[in-house]
């Protein structure tokens, strides 16, 4: 087994031009409008490719630079995918560099399909919670929120309107591959409100002006946790739509928390209350 | 008052060369070795300059580009500092751009003194907690940790050894100016252990392998919260030095949290226990 994995990878038909159609297409996926249009995105690194495969994400094309691969596990992944019939393409080092999102691509990447679900197909009662967001400025914050959601058993994220791209490379990276197991829905506020009524879920928002401390509220399962953007928090319109508003206490001159941290503190409180019930 | 603040700033002796000694010196502060040597750092933006002043941080030089300033409050700050005798320097726009750390400098910046304290001068009993770190890869994570520490009434950060630079621009930025009120100490593990024994503080570390859930432990005041680095967490040596090790529970396939999120969840638990006592 180890012998097989360490055998050199075939370099037949190695793509040596940066202008090859696949290479150009991957570079086009660095831009949101192309990701939206093609409903695909590009991931890189061993951990991401391995976890995408494990989560049965559709791999449209796997690319690798044989000379840049150092880890036997990456070679194993490629051979496994070749056997499984996934289209696999060897790239010259400089071609691989031309599509890299980061310095640590480890010589392996993949074009994968975006996954979107429709709100009406979802029964929220199967999960601890969903995160709801309308505006998040920092893609890294959004990815970190998804990583924490995965850690506590949250289902995923409900995006209101069309501002946020969960497939932004910086978001994907910050999820540390948790994103392949999180679920994504795009909807509007009126649709969300109708759906939550149907299932009797509570929409809980956070605001520094809320009168309830986040620790004094009972979070029913499933909770829809509505987090506002970094700069302005939840606007009045969204606060009005919530069934409950809670605040994270702060002392001294502090007036706000990092969005991913605030979300993490909230998610761990919701998670903790549920664990108590289950015990 | 408003009239005075909106009056145009004097542009006498405007610095127009990127090679002016002050401008070169500010650029040198973008590098850690120069920050360490000079014990200074450069901050930019209205919020940072205002909060540095408010926290009585030593301002060695205030710089501004009259044409880039849009907000009356920035003009007010500059005039206030001119009156107070702080050396203030007008820069041409392109010179200001040459020293900018970010796109949103708002035309104002300052060279300020680093603040360091000696462990032996500190009585930890006056505060809720201190964060202890030896390795943090992401400067943004460290800054976010300081921002949360400020929000819960934590004192600051104790840095073991010489790896971490709390005055890295990305760290400073992520603190959202909380750093002017947080305290900084650099020491070694043996010195920390002697000091904590003297005051009877508990050193609490986090590890996924710990047997105690973070919610089942009582955090005495003051708590020294020891957080490991993003990649490997706390090494065995540091785990052994702790009085207690706790874990943040995770479900499913998640194996780690973002460091700033994990720190935030811990700090809010410590804060919550203290609030209960105070009530």
How far is the alpha carbon of A258 from chain B, nearest alpha carbon, in Å? 7
Which residue in chain B has the smallest CA separation from A142? B258
| pLDDT at residue A6 greater than cutoff 90 | no
Whether residue B222 is preceded by a cis peptide bond, meaning omega within 30 degrees of 0, is yes
* B75 CA: distance to closest CA in chain A (Å): 23
Predicted local confidence at residue B171, as pLDDT: 97
Distance (Å, whole) CA A22 – CA A89: 9
- Cα distance between residue B66 and residue B1, in whole Å: 19
Question: Residue A261 is nearest to which of B148, B153, B251, comparing CB atoms?
Answer: B148
Give the pLDDT band of residue A220 (cuts 50, 70, 90).
confident
Taking residues A235-239, what's their average pLDDT? 97
Looking at the complex, report in whole angstroms how far the Cα of residue A189 sits from the nearest Cα belonging to chain B: 28
Q: What is the pLDDT of residues B22-71, one digit of tens each?
A: 999 999 999 999 999 999 999 999 999 999 999 999 999 999 999 999 99
Contact B147 A261 (CB under 8 A): yes
Show which residues on chain A lie within 8 Å of chain B, measured between beta carbons. Answer: 140, 144, 147-148, 150-153, 174, 176, 178, 181, 215, 248-254, 256-258, 260-262, 264-265, 268, 271-272, 275
Which residue in A151, A215, A253 is closest to B257 by CB distance? A151
3-state secondary structure of A5: helix
- Residue A277 clears pLDDT 70, i.e. is over it: no
| Amino acid B4: pLDDT | 46
DSSP string, chain B: -HHHHHSPPP-TT-B--TTSHHHHHHHHTTSHHHHHHHTEEEEESHHHHHHHHHTT--EEEEEE-GGG---HHHHHHHHHHHHHT--EEEB-HHHHHHH-SSTT-TTEEEEEE---B-GGG--GGGSSEEEEES--S-HHHHHHHHHHHHHHT--EEEEETT---TT-HHHHHHTTTGGGTSEEEEE-HHHHHHHHHHHT-EEEEE-TT-SEETTSS---SSEEEEE-BTTTBS-HHHHHH-SEEEE----TT-----HHHHHHHHHHHHHHHHHHHH-
What SS3 state is found at A170? helix
Look at residue B261 in the predicted model and tell me its pLDDT. Answer: 98
Most distant CA atoms of chain A, gap in Å: 66
* pLDDT band for position A1 (cuts 50, 70, 90): very low
Of B151, B152, B254, the CB nearest to A151: B254
C-alpha distance from B104 to closest chain A C-alpha (Å)? 14
- Chain-chain contact of B253 with A147 (C-beta, under 8 angstroms): no
pLDDT tens for A182-205 read: 999 999 999 999 999 999 999 999
Residue B93: per-residue pLDDT:
95
pLDDT at A36: 97
Task: Give the residue carrying structure tokens 């149907």.
Answer: A198
Do residue A261 and residue B261 have CB atoms under 8 angstroms apart? yes
Residue A161 per-residue DSSP state:
T
Query: What are the chain B neighbours of A253 within 8 Å (beta carbons)?
Result: 150, 181
Q: How far apart are CA B50 and CA B57, in angstroms?
A: 10
With CB atoms and an 8 Å threshold, state whether A258 touches B153.
no
Chains A and B: how many Cβ contacts under 8 Å?
86
- The whole-number pLDDT of residue B1 equals 40
For B88, residues 6+ apart whose C-beta sits below 8 A from its C-beta are B61, B62, B63, B64, B78, B81, B82
Q: What residues in chain B have their Cβ under 8 A from chain A's Cβ atoms?
A: 140, 144, 147-148, 150-153, 174, 176, 178, 181, 215, 248-254, 256-258, 260-262, 264-265, 268, 271-272, 275
Please check whether residue A10 is in contact with residue A4, taking contact to mean a CB–CB distance below 8 angstroms. no
- Chain B positions in Cβ-Cβ contact with residue A265 (cut-off 8 Å): 264-265, 268
Q: Round the average pLDDT of chain B to a whole number and report it.
A: 93
pLDDT (0 to 100) of residue A279: 42
- DSSP classification of residue A123: -
CA dist., res. A27 & res. A42, Å (int): 9
pLDDT band of A253, cuts 50, 70, 90: confident
Cβ–Cβ below 8 Å for B252 and A181? yes
Q: What is the mean pLDDT of residues A20-40?
A: 97
Here the ipTM equals 0.94
- Mean pLDDT, range A202-231, rounded to an integer: 95
Q: How far apart (Å, rounded) are the C-alpha atoms in residues A111 and A88?
A: 10
- Residue B255: pLDDT band (50, 70, 90) is confident
Q: Which of B144, B254, B260 has its CB closest to that of A150?
A: B254
Q: B6 falls in which pLDDT band (50, 70, 90)?
A: low
Q: Which residues of B touch A258 (CB under 8 A)?
A: 144, 147-148, 174, 260, 264
Q: Which of A104, A101, A166 is nearest to A136 (CA)?
A: A166
Q: How far is A182 from chain B (nearest CA, A)?
A: 11
pLDDT surpasses 60 at A5: no
Q: In B, which residues are within 8 Å of A176 by CB distance?
A: 256, 258
Q: Name the phi and psi angles at A219, rounded to 5.
A: -95, 110
Q: What percent of chain A has pLDDT over 90?
A: 89
**Average pLDDT value for residue range B235-258:** 95
Dump pLDDT digits (tens) for B57-113: 999 999 999 999 999 999 999 999 999 999 999 999 999 999 999 888 899 999 999
The CA distance from A192 to B116, in Å, is 51
**Which chain B residues are closer than 8 Å to A272 by Cβ?**
215
What is the band of B221 on the pLDDT scale with cuts at 50, 70, 90? confident
The pLDDT tens digits of the residues spanning B120-151 come to: 999 998 899 999 999 999 999 999 999 999 99
Nearest CA in chain A to B174: A258
């Amino acid at each position: 087994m180890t012998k097989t994995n360490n055998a050199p990878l075939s370099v037949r038909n190695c793509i040596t031009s940066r202008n090859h159609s696949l290479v150009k297409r991957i570079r086009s996926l660095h831009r949101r409008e192309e990701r939206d249009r093609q409903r695909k995105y590009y991931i890189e690194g061993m951990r991401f490719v391995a976890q995408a495969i494990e989560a049965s994400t559709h791999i449209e094309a796997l690319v690798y630079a044989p000379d840049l691969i150092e880890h036997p596990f990456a070679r194993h992944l490629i051979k496994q995918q070749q056997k499984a019939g996934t289209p696999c393409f060897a790239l010259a080092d400089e071609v691989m560099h031309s599509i890299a999102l980061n310095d640590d691509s480890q010589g392996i990447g993949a074009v994968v399909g975006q996954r979107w679900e429709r709100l009406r197909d979802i029964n929220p009662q199967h999960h601890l919670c969903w995160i709801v967001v309308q505006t998040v400025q920092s893609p890294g914050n959004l990815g970190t929120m998804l990583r924490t959601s995965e850690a506590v058993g949250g289902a995923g994220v409900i995006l209101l309107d069309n501002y946020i791209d969960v497939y932004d490379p910086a978001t994907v990276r910050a999820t540390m591959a948790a994103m392949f197991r999180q679920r994504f829905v795009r909807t509007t506020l009126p649709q969300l409100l109708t759906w939550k009524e149907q299932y009797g879920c509570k929409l809980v928002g956070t605001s520094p002006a809320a009168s309830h401390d986040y620790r004094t509220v009972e979070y029913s399962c499933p909770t829809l946790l509505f987090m506002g953007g970094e700069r302005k928090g939840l606007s009045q319109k969204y606060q009005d739509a919530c069934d409950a508003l809670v605040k994270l206490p702060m002392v001294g001159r502090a007036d706000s928390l990092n969005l991913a941290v605030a979300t993490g503190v909230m998610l761990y409180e919701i998670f903790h209350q549920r664990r108590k019930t289950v015990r």
